[in-house]
Amino acid sequence: MPTITASKQALEKYIGKKLSLEELKDRISMLGTDLESIENDEVNVEIFPDRPDMLSAEGLGRALSSFVGVNTGLKKYELKKSGEKVIIEDSVKNVRPYTACAIVKNLKFDDEKIKQIIQLQEKLHVTYGKNRKRAAIGVYPMEKIKFPIYFRALKPEDIKFVPLESEKEMNGRQILSSHPAGRDYAHLLEGKDKFPIFIDANNEILSMPPIINSHNTGKITEETKEVFIECSGFDFNVLKKTLNIIVTSLADMGGEIYSMELDYGKKEITPDLKPEEMKLDENYVNKLLGLDLSKSDIKKYLERMGFGYDKKVLIPSYRADIMHQCDIAEDIAISYGYENFKEEIPNVSTLAEEDKIEIFKRKVSGILIGFGLLETNTYNLVNEDLVNKNMGLDNELVKVKNPVNIEYNSLRSWMIPSLLKVLQDNRNYDYPQNLFEIGEVFKKGDTETGVEEFTRVGIVKCHNNSNFTEVKQILEGFLQSLGLKYELKEVEHNSFIAGRVGRIIVNDAKVGYIGEIHPKVLVKFGLEMPVAAMELNLSELFKIV
């Protein structure tokens, strides 16, 4: 988890109250952060990843100010129009398609404030920005910039500027190979024919995101009074939230926030500092926390965490962690005070026992190992192409809203694609490769989360002579071990060879598929050996057993 360093004096200024050393230690720890040390005027605090808004003295001080009762409720920030524009060109669409921008004026930087803004920028890069892949941030002194700003992509050889903390001009390729930041983040532009840049009306390059700023136009000093801020990446909503965190921290330093017009062909205005609204079920909160809070109590506790509350919860524009009512309930619990919850012995006496489905899964694993299969274990998160395009399908998947990267952007809907990926990654090893995996699959459904979860087992046999008959023998032996009878119904399935695929039916329930993988699918995975495969719904079989 990231650790921030802040001046105790600056922290108390943002809190609006001088706290005793013991009280400061206690309140920091009870806020949901982890105090590492306080030495002289230096406070070191470990911030949980779900609170990127506290990755600076300003953000932490703002949260503590509400928490200790000095400035409670929703903090409002004034937003003025700058009249300035950023033009996003089509050339960045396949490289780094989005940006969110703002201007902050009337700043009075000193050494401590510059340290804080650099710290916030770097900590956001590592955490919320996923090491600059999801969001990269640039802060520039406006006295060296002429508007409008252009966000475009050029061939690396055509990008030439002096990178930050360097003395000589380099082109895009040279920056990736020679500059320390370029070497650290070169993988983010790997395979790209063009690199993105921010460039002003004077053709001065500001930066090459997500790598490095220009030394001439991208370095703030104590003389800087006005700054231009850009966040670039692949998810506009993430970038807007990142921008809100930065501009509100600068506003807490005394700056004034100005919006900018973004020209994507259609007009967007950033930042957007309006609070989000969320309905709150008070009964749900009380049940979850085991309390009996009145509406006025809930309002009081929410305001101590910086929320507004008027029929709906008003969520500050810089909070990136509130996605469900349970997140609101967690903040109410923090505000109420974990130290104030009373320990209670439940009225119901129970005896612990192992979950029966886990016993069943262990039994299934033992049976399949007995057939000479090797057990493997892969991720629930997969690439969308793995389970659909590679398999010749177009099924509706459960998508991840803010994936870390495109390789893990969906929840898998069946097991066999994951096993084929294992075969793909082990093509250089000896055959036969006969594998199975017991894991979870997901589909959209009528639940609180909108997602249903099932346990399945996938089996693949891969060698020169693997065929339908061979995997059918495993099916027969496996179900016989469970005391079950089955029937096969011939079906069509794009992932399997026609005429060599069947639907497995047990007690009139459709519990899986069996067949030989289609050659087109094998080509997609780069497999030269035939593969026979089977998949069974263990959740359904468990009910039957």
Q: 282 in a domain, yes or no?
A: yes
Q: 350 in a domain, yes or no?
A: no
What would the two tokens of residue 457 be? Answer: 């087992």
Segments in 165-305 forming alpha helices (H): 172-178, 180-185, 236-252, 282-289, 295-303
| Among 232, 252, 270, residue at a domain's last position | 270
| Among 250, 270, 290, residue at a domain's last position | 270
Quote the distance between the C-alpha of residue 108 and its chain's center.
34
- Find residue 189's DSSP bridge partners: none
| Among 41, 67, 93, residue at a domain's last position | 67
CATH number of the domain that residue 233 is part of:
3.50.40.10
Q: 342 in a domain, yes or no?
A: no
Query: Is 196 found in the same domain as 104?
Result: yes
Report strand pairing: 374-375 vs 312-315. Answer: unpaired
Q: What is the pLDDT of residue 163?
A: 94
Query: Is 230 found in the same domain as 83?
Result: yes
Q: Residue 120 carries which side chain, given as an amino acid letter?
A: L
CATH number of the domain that residue 50 is part of:
3.30.56.10
Exposed/middle/buried for residue 467 (C-beta within 10 Å: 0-12, 13-18, 19+): middle
Q: 348 in a domain, yes or no?
A: no
Place of tokens 């030439």: 160
With residues binned 3-state (H G I as helix, E B as strand, rest as coil), the percentages for the chain, rounded to 5, are 35, 30, 40
Q: Give the residue ranges of the chain where pLDDT is below 70.
A: 404-405
Residue 325, CB-side half-sphere exposure with 13 Å CA sphere: 15
Query: Is 490 found in the same domain as 397?
Result: yes
Query: Is 213 found in the same domain as 89?
Result: yes
Query: Is 303 found in the same domain as 360?
Result: no
Q: What is the pLDDT of residue 404?
A: 64
Q: What is the pLDDT of residue 205?
A: 96
Q: 485 in a domain, yes or no?
A: yes
CATH number of the domain that residue 513 is part of:
3.30.930.10
Query: Is 169 found in the same domain as 224?
Result: yes
Query: Is 299 found in the same domain as 239?
Result: no
Q: Is the pTM of this model over 0.85?
A: no
Q: DSSP secondary-structure letter at 302? A: H
Q: 343 in a domain, yes or no?
A: no
- What 3-state DSSP class applies to 341? coil
The CA distance from 258 to 361, in Å, is: 58
Q: 345 in a domain, yes or no?
A: no
pLDDT tens, position by position, 440-472: 999 998 887 888 999 999 999 999 999 999 999
Split into its structural domains, the chain has a count of 4
Say if residues 170 and 160 touch (Cβ distance below 8 Å).
Answer: yes
Q: 164 in a domain, yes or no?
A: yes
pLDDT tens, position by position, 16-42: 988 888 888 889 989 988 888 888 888
Upstream peptide bond of 432 is cis (omega within 30 degrees of 0)? yes
Query: Is 331 found in the same domain as 199?
Result: no
Q: What's the chain's Rg over C-alpha atoms?
A: 28
DSSP H or E stretch at residue 336? helix 325-336
Query: Is 467 found in the same domain as 376?
Result: yes
- The whole domain housing 200 covers 79-270
Query: Is 177 found in the same domain as 144?
Result: yes
The CA distance from 154 to 431, in Å, is: 47
Q: What is the pLDDT of residue 105?
A: 97
Query: Is 247 found in the same domain as 159?
Result: yes
Query: Is 476 found in the same domain as 452?
Result: yes
